[in-house]
Structure 1
């Protein structure tokens, strides 16, 4: 085998090891965080690891349909002196 084939094989082996993830659970002797007072149920591991919508907002692709100049603003004055 040549060096390029050995390097490619090594890269594939290292890359294959990256995809294996164990199931997440609390450490031995530890418990999940306590339930919030206002929560109706104790969230599980998957619920605690998922991002809320505020942490990762969706993209807003609102297109400008009518481009209009801004109306004059009487309070937009230059700084004094």
Structure 2
């Protein structure tokens, strides 16, 4: 980390970047059954939305070879 080049009159200021607390933080609250179920439901909804958009969007992304061939044959017949 950043080191000071000039001397510091108080040693605790010089070593402040290396200070570690001896106080342990409280343990995190456990999620309730409703919160866990809500997280699963939200995750499943997002995944279902992504899968649904792929299922509905894939036909629009496909190239239609049959209509392309018929358009080319019509254009060649008209000349």
Scaled to the shorter chain, the TM-score interval is 0.3 to 0.5
Q: TM-score scaled by structure 1?
A: 0.32
